[in-house]
Amino acid sequence: MLKITLVGAGSVVFSKTLIGDLLQYPALQEVTLCLMDINPERLVVIGKLARRMVSQLGLTAKVETTTDLREACRGARFVITTIQVGGYKPSTVVDFEIPARYGLQQTIADTLGVGGVFRALRSIPKLVEVARMLQEVGAPDPLLLNYTNPMAMNMWAIDKMTGLPGVGLCHSVQGTSRQIASYCGLDPREVSYRVAGINHMAFFLKFETKGKDAYPLLFRALDDPATFARDRVRFEMMRRLGYFVTESSEHQSEYVPYFIQHGEEVISRFGIPINEYIRRCEKMAGRWEQVENSLLDESKPVEIHRSVEYGSTIVNSIVSGAPSVIYGNVPNTGLITNLTQGCCVEVPCLVDRQGLQPTFIGELPAQLAGIIQTNIAVQQLTVEAARTGRRDYIYQAVMLDPHTASVLPLDKIWAMCDEMIEAHQRDGVLGEFKPVAKNTGKPLAAVERVFLSIRPEGVPFLGGEPEAKFTFVAENRTREAFEEEIALATRHLGGAATPPIAVKVAPGESVEIPFTLRRGESADEEAEPVIEIISPSLMTLERDLRLPKRLSHLLPVRNDGSEPLRFNVTWSGNLVAECSSWLTDEQWIIEARVDDTDVRVAPYFIDGSALEIGFKDPSGTLAAPTVLVALPDRDEPRVLLNPGYSGGERFEGAGVEVCIDDTGYRLRVGFDRKALGLEEARPFLTDIVFHVNALGTAHGKICKAWNDSHSQIKMDVSRFVLMVPTA
């Protein structure tokens, strides 16, 4: 029996579409469908749904489910991959939040740019594992059909690292053909076209209706303001290049250096949705339970429709011999002569019992080849980074990205990449990459080094404390014993110093040595403190410790008519709220104007709109962090104390006022000073965090931040140490 496997079948909605497409072909109605995913709960859902579909269609197809990749690939003739390594959380969030802290805004971040590069570095090893497993235990002449982005990088790597026949599939060509037909007032069934390039940046070389060139109609649509507004970036690119591109305006805007990088006026004029993918993911995450219940509702039949996806068409043509034409992402074996040989190109492919037969395109127009090559350069270095494990290729791939290069200087690009590598490795979704010499692209001769680092104990100098405790860590990954005195130097800590640390560590062992630093009176409050490790040995690699910069402010007492403390809260590069704060004899007051066009108070506050205030008084009664959440409910604005997923206890020591309009809301919260223990003058630490529906969930892990300064450094929230004077 023919076996077709879906790897990543836990993408339930998309898998349902693919399964429905397959089962509607007569030649595929007696197959074995093997559904594989690493998420057992999602696998149960898609397994039940697939069996219902088979039963509803009255077929004899067999459905299997497994979490074992080898079993999924065993005997499979076709494997379809729809995986997302690292998922939305934590990986996609990391791909957006870290670049945003460097001033780099993104829309989708799944194909090119720094987001696309790191998605590829997470995906390629898993896809290569699938390909090699299919080569080992699959049926004769197996074929891999991949839907996982970034398509071009993934398929290029699979071909180069395994040689397994495969094709990358996307719906941008067929989807765009329908869109531009509608722009011209044409019936999509009466248009024909020829498209070529790379995935998400292929171009309609021909666009015809009834045998006549329809491009003049598309250029007329360009001049219509209402039609132009529906697809501004792509129409603008067509104006300049002469051809229409296949992927959406939000995608296209981050593949070229002409839009996002030029400020809010350009972003607004072209309607570019910054952080669009974050919004989509948040929306889907919030709807998952509803979607699951709907799909499994046996009181109504499963909706089964034919989609525009090419996967089932390919399988049917190879099995039945019925010929078809699809657009596939395949190796460039001279198919497009003025693009890099061996890269992954998107071209028309004939499919029949002989398999896929890509068609020859020849030369693209020079301007199209030129702009495509700017993307291919990034893809090539990313593939080489995945193939060789060389860290310098990651830096260089991001350096060549048109979007990143137009925003950031080289030192910031490298620092951003380092931070993203560390974050994804900490989350367990990115492999090791060979280290490079500091501030060069030169790989180190070997990874056998003694790694030296410093770990803070808690949050250093919290609440103005003059001393902080640290641990010096030495990890000996060499085959020799290491013994050396290591010096420490500090910057922006007012001359703080410690004697050299004597390190003695056996091969393969680690040591931890505690030490204390005292801040000097001349410490620079406006700079980021650094503790530098100075080692004379060539056997060592050092990671200096950068401490979180914390702003210290004196909260004014408004009884004397003074101005309030004003500050802004940002998230992923967006201004979330403009705030002010002050004290009265009895209250601590926060006022905020919040940009949130979808004000919604949900049962659990992070699923809706809210102000979250993390509060810690290290020298007083509140030794542990307290979390207070103000909900901008139209009917019942209120403050909750330490809320959890099931809600929270109402905090009676606060009053809330809210005024909501179409663009957001104004919030005023007054906290009773007695209830907070702020009757005396002493410092306290607070995090001001907003949860904003229109932007996604703009929140940080407050309690974790105060117990782990690594997380504190990463948090994208406004932080203040507020010095509270006496009344």
Q: Tell me the pLDDT tens digit for each residue of 69-84.
A: 999 999 999 999 999 9
pLDDT greater at residue 555 or residue 63: 63
Region 351-370: mean pLDDT is 97
| DSSP string for 171-232 | SHHHHHHHHHHHHTT--GGGEEEEEEEETTEEEEEEEEETTEE-HHHHHHHHTSHHHHTTSH
Stretch among 440-454, 565-579, 625-639 having the lowest mean pLDDT: 440-454
Q: How far apart are CA 650 and CA 647, in angstroms?
A: 9
What tens digit of pLDDT does each residue of 325-350 get? 999 999 999 999 999 999 999 999 99
Q: How far apart are CA 301 and CA 52, in angstroms?
A: 9
Q: Measured between alpha carbons, how far is residue 174 from residues 152, 195, 213, 250, 556 in Å?
A: 18, 10, 18, 18, 61
Region 577-595: mean pLDDT is 88
Q: What is the pLDDT at residue 553?
A: 63
Q: What is the pLDDT at residue 478?
A: 80
Burial of 230 (0-12, 13-18, 19+ CB in 10 A): middle
Q: What is the pLDDT at residue 674?
A: 85
According to the per-residue pLDDT averaged within each range, which of 297-306, 402-411, 435-444, 626-635 is highest?
402-411
Q: Is the pLDDT of residue 523 over 50?
A: yes
Nearest to 573 by CA among 408, 396, 417, 375: 408
How does residue 583 score in pLDDT terms, banded at 50, 70 and 90?
confident
Q: How many CB atoms lie within 10 A of CB 677?
A: 15
How does residue 526 score in pLDDT terms, banded at 50, 70 and 90?
low
Q: Is the pLDDT of residue 366 over 50?
A: yes
Q: How far apart are CA 333 and CA 344, in angstroms?
A: 9
Q: How far apart are CA 123 and CA 128, in angstroms?
A: 9
Per-residue b/e over 618-654, b at no fewer than 16 CB within 10 Å?
Answer: bebeeeebbbbbbbbbeeebbbbbebeeeebeebeeb
Region 623-627: mean pLDDT is 63
CATH 2.60.40.10 occupies which residues in the chain? 450-549
pLDDT greater at residue 584 or residue 435: 584
Active site residues: 171
Q: What is the pLDDT at residue 120?
A: 98
Indicate the pTM of the whole model: 0.66
What tens digit of pLDDT does each residue of 633-689 get? 989 999 998 886 567 789 999 999 999 988 889 999 999 988 887 766 566 667 677
Region 705-714: mean pLDDT is 31
Looking at domain 77-274+309-439, which of 3.30.70.270, 3.40.50.2300, 3.90.1820.10, 3.30.200.20 is its CATH number?
Answer: 3.90.1820.10
pLDDT above 70 as % of the chain: 86
DSSP 447: S
Q: What is the pLDDT at residue 727?
A: 33
Q: What is the pLDDT at residue 320?
A: 97
Looking at the structure, give the CATH architecture of the domain made up of residues 552-723.
Answer: Sandwich (2.60)
Stretch among 135-144, 164-173, 518-527, 633-642 having the lowest mean pLDDT: 518-527
Q: Which fold has domain 450-549?
A: Immunoglobulin-like (2.60.40)
Q: How far apart are CA 471 and CA 457, in angstroms?
A: 7
How does residue 719 score in pLDDT terms, banded at 50, 70 and 90?
very low
Triad 315, 318, 321: Cα angle to 5°: 125
Work out the mean pLDDT of the chain and round it to a whole number: 87
What tens digit of pLDDT does each residue of 386-399 get? 999 989 999 999 99
What tens digit of pLDDT does each residue of 465-476 get? 678 888 999 999
Q: How many CB atoms lie within 10 A of CB 268?
A: 9
